Amino acid sequence: MRHHAPVVASAVVAALGFGGSLRAEEPAMGKDLAATIALQGMPCDKVVSATRNGDSDYTATCRDGSRYHVFVDSSGRVVVKKL
């Protein structure tokens, strides 16, 4: 058990620190992404997870399984692309 403890601890830390995913305390970003997707005329009932790809760049997964790439292009426009 002692040998496994560091491994388990590392796994937990890795899981918590897994980059870019939305956490439970970031529902606002999920709503923002869902609203943005809807404004572009694409269906997304609710964003269940989102991964931050970079600055102003997210990949959102909707409840129905649809995935969208939401980002701000060089001209400052929000772009939503279905993946």
Give the binding site for another protein (CB under 8 A).
17, 19-20, 26, 28-29, 31-33, 35-36, 39-40, 52, 55-56, 70, 72, 76-78
Structure-token pair, residue 46: 């609710």
Give the nearest distance from C-beta 76 to another protein in angstroms: 6
Quote the CA–CA distance of 68 and 83 in Å, as a whole number. 5
Give the nearest distance from C-beta 77 to another protein in angstroms: 5
Compute, in degrees rounded to 10, the torsion defined by CA atoms 8, 16, 24, 79.
-140
Which lies closer to another protein via its Cβ, residue 62 or residue 70? Answer: 70
At 75, is the secondary structure helix, strand, or coil? coil
